[in-house]
Structure 1
Amino acid sequence: MSNDSARIATLVGSRLCHDLVSPVGAISNGLELIALAGAPGPDEIGLIEQSCASATARINLFRVAFGHASLDQQVSAREAAKLLSDYCLGSRLQMDWQVQGDSQRTDVQLACLAALCCETALPLGGRVQITESGGRWRITATGQRLATEPVLWSMLETAQIPPDLSAARVQFACLAMLAPERGRKLTSQFGDAAASIEIA
């Protein structure tokens, strides 16, 4: 395993743990409140249900985005749309899967990674659209305010991983490395109104 691959593996692990700590911690807090009260109330049950849903949504999306994907696996449009909509529940983010029919899991993985990249450009929330036409995928972020990090976005085309890459941005490295392995070319564009990633 190369140094970059080993580093990305540890960053992915850190990302997964970081994103799951909050909902799992909230579940623990809800159970503690129930233990203190002696009986579950609607607030405690609501907190646990919401936190369980959040943890499950993140696990399901991360399994597709960061897990192993093979060419013989298919993902339906309904399943892909649900993965993204569940991930966004309770947030100011909206992700729209506009691809019709089934797609290869390898393509869905790249699209999900690109959607997570686009999410970073929307600090105040916004919309991420995923479309596909003739084998070319486009993932576009629009929102009230865009905040792009040029070093990260240029990585998609150069595959040069910066030494200070954080776990919260590891999706950029995963996408930059996986796409060319699958014969795909990445093109990124960003400005004041939108940021987009094309997978051709």
Structure 2
Amino acid sequence: MQNISVSLAALVGSRLCHDLISPIGAIQNGLELLALTGGGKDSPELALIQDSCESATARIRFFRVAFGFASETQGMSAREISSTLEAVTKGTRLRTHWSADGDQSRRDVQLCYLAHLCCESALPMGGSVTIDRDAAGWTVRASGPRVNADTVFWDHLNGIAPLDEPPADKVHFALLPVLAKDQNRQLLATTDQDSASIKIAV
């Protein structure tokens, strides 16, 4: 069972994402009404607002899983997982491929999403992230024209370097090992010049 600090932080994350998604959805509904009434239907300004709303919605959906609360009984469909990953990378230099079929435990998806964020951090010039599963567990692998994996953060995933006060944009490196340990999962992070990968044992 998660310690109270981790559980509380996850519940805060869930609450924030839940409360933010409603007003963004309302803005999108308003844009649709404007389009139906012909109010600037094809204007670049409305297109920009629509794209921004879609991007924000995708990020909130992703963050709600990655940083929110996940119980042992919750699951996610392959379609929901793939569509979230596709939406969150739309318009960026990053592409993600989810290859696991069927429904998955939300806790498994949470670990994979956090590992995805770690891999994304190692691709400053963009690239691709693949997420697949075999009998041994999950593998999240990043590749791109330039892989920049900060040794301290990746060593922390392997349990050989402390990370007491991570910067906000690297908080996923601190959270992933905590949640993995809570679920009795082992992590193995490896990096080289062309790729970086995180294995999450079943």
TM-score by length of 1: 0.80
Q: Distance in 1 between matches of 2:147 and 2:61?
A: 27
Deviation for aligned residue 1:163: 3.7
Task: Report the equivalent of 2:72.
Answer: 71
5+ long unaligned stretches in structure 2: 32-38
Alignment of 1:92-103 (within 5 A): 92-103=93-104
Spell out the pairing of 1:26-41 with structure 2 (5 A cutoff).
40=40
Letter in 2 for 1:116: L
Q: Structure 2 counterpart of 1:80, which letter?
A: I
For the 8 Å contact 2:122–2:147, the answer to whether it is kept is yes
- Alignment partner, residue 35 of structure 1: none
Partner of 1:184: 185
Q: Distance in 1 between matches of 2:164 and 2:175?
A: 14
Moved more, 184-193 or 127-136: 127-136
Q: In the alignment, is the contact (CA less than 8 A) between 1:159 and 1:176 conserved in 2?
A: no
Unpaired runs of 5+ residues, structure 1, are 32-38
Cα contact 1:159–1:173 (8 A) shared by 2: no
Cα separation, 2, equivalents of 1:145 and 1:155: 21
Paired residues, number = 178
> 2: distance between equivalents of 1:106 and 1:9?
15
Change (3 A) 1:45 1:187: same
Distance 2:85 2:180 in 1: 20
Mapping for residues 57-68 of structure 1, pairs under 5 Å? 57-68=58-69
- Do the aligned residues in 1 keep the contact of 2:138 with 2:200 (CA within 8 Å)? yes
Cα displacement string for residues 142-196 of structure 1 (whole angstroms, at most 9, x for unaligned residues)? 0010000010011112175424411101011110100011010000000001100
Give the Å deviation of 1:94. Answer: 0.5
Tell me how far apart the structure 1 counterparts of residues 88 and 144 of structure 2 sit (CA, whole Å). 18
| Paired-residue identity, % | 45
Deviations along 1:58-103, whole A, 9 cap, x unmatched?
Answer: 0000000000111111111111111111000110000111111111
CA contact (8 A) 1:161 1:173 kept: no
Find the counterpart in structure 2 of residue 43 from structure 1.
44
RMSD, aligned α-carbons: 2.8
Corresponding residue for residue 116 of structure 1: 117
The amino acid that maps onto 2:173 is: F
Please name the residue that 2:34 is paired with. none
Code of the residue aligned with 1:128 in structure 2: it is V
TM-score (norm 2): 0.79
Q: In the alignment, is the contact (CA less than 8 A) between 2:152 and 2:161 conserved in 1?
A: no
